[in-house]
Homo-oligomer: A and B are copies of this chain.
Amino acid sequence: MMSRVLSLRHVLMVSLALNVGLILRVAYEGEIQRAERSLHGGLCFEDGEKNRGGWTSMADFSKDKAHLSQKNLLLKSPSSSTVRTEAQDGGEIVINLDHGDPTMYERFWQQMGDKTTVVISGWQSISYFSDVRNLCWFLEPEFAKAIIRLHKVVGNAITEDRHIVVGTGSTQLFQAALYALSPPNASEPMNVVSAAPYYSSYPLVTDFLKSGLYKWAGDAHAFTKDEPYIELVTSPNNPDGFTRQPVVNGNDGILIHDFAYYWPQYTPISFPADHDLMLFTVSKSMGHAGTRLGWALVKDREVAKKMTKFIELNTIGVSQDSQLRAAKILQAVSDSYDHASKPEGGELFFDYSHNQMAKRWKQLREAVKQSRLFSLPDFPLGLCSFSGQTFELQPAFAWLKCEREIEDCESFLRSHKILTRGGKHFGVSSEYVRISMLERDKMFDLFTERLSKILS
């Protein structure tokens, strides 16, 4: 018994030490990293041409860190209350909203305390195999259960008679789907299209290995070839947030539905989606981008097998640790709604995130109105079957247009030290930019404050 108590105490000490270490790291690195990242225009993932060869260098970082320290412009960590306001810093802080890094959710999970803490022993996850009875043999059964349950709770997708394929983020699953849906011995690579504005990563990820199986064929609106094609339907769409349907009229088309944002914080849930191949991701639903987890719901058994084969050849499966952790997080969210009452000392996840997004969109629309230089899309109202509320879409990205003959909106905002991603990366005009709505509060507040004061 004594040794058991000691052992438990040991686990706790380990846990506490880890937490203390991590809090210190967040506090320190939050300062340095965010300032640096902002200054350099961010790192490159999801990026288009501008960053293709444009890696930040460590030497440059070091130089700029010194520079930043001198100017005392370092941003504080999210837990700090000492972040300067726009007025205090005089518009000097670089605000990076180029990536969709979902740091907004950090605060919610902090408030949840230990409810979603995961503990993994040294002897777990030794084998490559998670469940050899499953077609997707590297899918942790607990994660599979949690996915099915969450979809039932939210009502955003049909899971019956589907195979679940887990991936290292939905980016890997997107490639797995291309591999699975392209004929192995065709004379020409399969055409891959999506209606512009399309997610900026699609062309890059499709073409980076110059595959003989598939190739990027551009804007789906412009695709008129009498050839087989795969159409990516992202709904709500990244970057512009609208609900989407396929646009190509061909007969030889295969559809992939990217439902990364089909969650009640971003859009009214109007029906449980029921398509052949649907992609989801932990990053945008729960905010845990660092777990690198996504899942596909796949109707056809052979397609699910080939997707599993892709992941087997590409990475021999998917982190079991992250799957165990995500299982716990998804179950906790489902639990909180099953109990139908607020968990102790906190809000329900989708209520919290929905309210945050609503507040941010209101704040952004006010800033845009004040500036008179920009415009935003208008979204229709919709009834959400999950919450019972009627509301407008409130996307994870704002699709902002520069008015008054500003031709390059990204450069214009960059001159005001606001980093965004220009329309050309999404296959459309440079008058548009995509802006992440998922940054931490302080940064988002700085952004709207600065935007509202940009004079025409």
Q: Contact residues of A with B, CB < 8 Å?
A: 7-8, 10-12, 14-15, 18-19, 22, 25, 29, 32-33, 36-37, 43-46, 55-58, 61-62, 65, 99, 101-103, 105-107, 109-110, 112-135, 137, 141, 168-169, 171-172, 175, 179, 201, 204-205, 208-213, 283, 287-293, 305, 308-310, 312-322, 325, 329, 332
Contact = CB atoms under 8 A, between A and B. Distances in A.
A117 B312 contact: no
Contact of A321 (B169, B308, B321): B321
A290 B119 contact: no
Contacts of A179: 208-209
Given A11-B12, A14-B117, A55-B305, 17 more contacts: A11-B11, A11-B114, A18-B120, A29-B131, A33-B132, A36-B132, A45-B313, A109-B121, A117-B119, A125-B290, A126-B289, A128-B283, A168-B315, A209-B213, A292-B317, A314-B314, A321-B322
Nearest to A204: B313
B126 A320 contact: no
Contacts of A14: 114, 117-119
B313 A11 contact: no
Which secondary structure dominates chain A's binding surface? helix
B129 A105 contact: no
Given A131-B33, A209-B213, A321-B290, A312 B45 contact: yes
B316 A55 contact: no
- When all copies of this chain in the complex are counted, the total is 2
Top 5 A-B residue pairs of the complex, sorted by shortest distance between their CB atoms:
A125-B290, A116-B122, A210-B212, A319-B319, A290-B320
Nearest to A35: B132
A392 B3 CA distance: 40
A61 to B, nearest CB: 5
A351 to B, nearest CB: 17
Contacts of A125: 288-291
Contacts of A175: 314
A204 to B, nearest CB: 6
A80 B131 CA distance: 20
Most chain B CB within a 10 A radius of its CB, from A46, A127, A288, A310: A127
A155 to B, nearest CB: 24
Contacts of A317: 45, 169, 290, 292
A287 B126 contact: yes
Nearest to A313: B208
Nearest to A211: B209
Contacts of A105: 126
Nearest to A102: B126
B121 A114 contact: yes
A7 to B, nearest CB: 6
A120 B7 CA distance: 18
Nearest to A206: B313
B126 A58 contact: no
Contacts of A29: 131
Given A120-B118, A121-B22, A292 B318 contact: yes
Contacts of A123: 106-107, 109-110, 112
Contacts of A135: 55, 57-58
A413 B434 CA distance: 60
A103 B126 contact: yes
Contacts of A62: 133
A30 to B, nearest CB: 10
